[in-house]
Structure 1
Amino acid sequence: MSKAVLKVAGLSVAYGGIKAVKGIDLEVREGELIALIGANGAGKTTTLKAITGTLPQCKVEGSIHYLDETLKGSKSFHLVEKKLAMVPEGRGVFTRMSIRENLMMGAYTRTDKAAIEDDIAHWFDVFPRLKERAAQMAGTLSGGEQQMLAMARALMSHPRLLLLDEPSMGLSPIMVEKIFEVIRTVSAQGITILLVEQNARLALQAADRGYVMDSGLITMSGNAADMLDDARVRAAYLGE
């Protein structure tokens, strides 16, 4: 069994008297693509924000270990140095910077200038639309183009663990297929991925294992292919 890159145990998150996450456990092992699926409001994004330390003021309990090191007390801006990157819901691109400048920001912890240029060329090959618009302000891009840019920017840091929060949200079916094609390609390169996604079918088709989250609890987990065939998952999340 491969090494655990991320291990979450007993994670609870409470906003005042409201518990958004209620003591969950999950594990992501090296090289895996893990899908965390569930309805809107299930607590998926809160879980990712707890991992990355980007929650607003609230009570967080439990343990979060990344590469056997606790993330408790870590500043979110130090995580990229630890090779942990996140593509947030809503993309989060630097709207008043060009596409190229956004990619350079993704590599701000690196000093290998020639390799950075090689990586920019690589992601321009993967996303030709970005190459065509390299000098364009990121804020003028379509939602799908911004998602491409946000993913490429995160990958510029050479992450050991990539967190993706709802990458298909608000995109056209053609763009969704392109984004998932890239997710599968990145996973095949050995990068460990934790994918939060409402499109359960696409997420489980791409994943090795899956977790189902409902009302702040993990209600099911297992092999992704088996979950696709599970009657409960099909009824609740696949519309069957």
Structure 2
Amino acid sequence: MGANVLKVAGLKVAYGGIKAVKGIDLEVNKGELVTLIGANGAGKTTTLKAITGTLPDCKVEGTISYMGQSLKGSKSFHLVEKKLAMVPEGRGVFTRMTIHENLMMGAYTRDDKAGVEADIAKWYDIFPRLKERSAQLAGTLSGGEQQMLAMARALMCHPELLLLDEPSMGLSPIMVDKIFEVIRNVSKEGITILLVEQNAKLALEAADRGYVMDSGQITMTGNADDMLHDPRVKAAYLGE
């Protein structure tokens, strides 16, 4: 694996007197698929929002570096220009725009028209349901279809780093399998991924490395396959 794409050091996030993240360190190296697992309320989504600068008013301490440069003060809408894309929890599609328009929005930083059209065709091949409904408003899609669209839209900018927040949440088992198949394939293409996911088994099976977050702290880290077979992880997150 190559150099750091993302490095988080001493990250603390506090909402008033509530400490949501308590001084965590994590890193993602070029080409890695790293997963951050943990129970609801552990601070996983807060961590992603701190990285992308999308938190509401709160106190944030620590350093966040992307491709060797600090993200401090970066506006979230500039991150796509830096080739950092996020698929937020709850999908975040543009509900009053069509599928095709959503995909075009994902490519708004690009000016290679032929390349954009080729990428749209690629995602329509991967997600045929999107192709069938390309002129349909995104708000009328099922949760699974919206998740497909959100992922395809994020990947339209050719990100160096893709952040995924709970991509399996609320989806049928068949749809979850499809989404994770795409995540694994995207990783094989060399795109660096940080995956936040409650389905610890699927996440660790897909990942190279993992972090466990509990009550705002990193309590364990290591090789994903080792963690999958760790008795503590099995007992706490795999129901074994």
Short-chain TM bin = over 0.9
Aligned equivalents of 1:48, 1:197: Cα separation in 2? 12
TM-score (norm 2): 1.00
Q: Aligned residue pairs: how many?
A: 240
1:22 maps to which residue?
22
> Aligned residue for 2:94?
94
Q: Name the CA distance, whole Å, in 2 between partners of 1:91 and 1:172.
A: 15
Number of the residue aligned with 2:174: 174
Q: Kindly, what percent of the aligned residue pairs are identical?
A: 83
* Structure 1 Cα separation of the partners of residues 74 and 140 of structure 2: 34
Q: Counterparts of 1:217 and 1:150 in 2: how far apart (Å)?
A: 29
Structure 1 counterpart of 2:136:
136
Amino acid at match of 2:116: I
| Secondary structure of 2:213 counterpart | strand
Instruction: Tell me the equivalent position of 2:80.
Output: 80
2:45 corresponds in structure 1 to 45
Q: Where in structure 2 are the equivalents of 1:151-230 lying within 5 Å? A: 151-230=151-230
Task: State how far apart, in whole Å, the 2-side matches of 1:185 and 1:97 are.
Answer: 27
One-letter amino acid of the counterpart of residue 119, structure 1: D
Aligned to 2:5: 5
Q: Secondary structure at the match of 1:90?
A: coil
Tell me, which stretches of 5 or more residues in structure 2 are unaligned? Answer: none
Deviations 1:4-46 (A, max 9, x none): 0000000000000000000000000000000000000000000
- Residue 2 of structure 1: CA displacement? 1.3
1:195 partner SS: strand
Matched AA of 1:60: V
Alignment TM-score, normalising by the size of structure 1: 1.00
Please, which runs of 5 or more residues in structure 1 have no aligned partner?
A: none
CA distance in 2, matches of 1:89, 1:163: 10
SS of residue in 1 equivalent to 2:73: coil
Return the alpha-carbon distance in structure 2 between the equivalents of residues 228 and 14 of structure 1.
31
| Cα distance in structure 1, aligned partners of 2:200 and 2:73 | 32
Moved over 4 A (4+): none
Name the amino acid aligned to 2:59.
K
Secondary structure at the aligned position of 1:55 is classed as coil
Q: Does 1:61 align with 2:61?
A: yes
1:211 maps to a residue whose letter is Y
Aligned twin of 1:148:
148
Q: CA–CA distance in 2 between the matches of 1:193 and 1:125?
A: 22
Paired residue type of 1:112: D
Instruction: Tell me how far apart the structure 1 counterparts of residues 77 and 95 of structure 2 sit (CA, whole Å).
Output: 19
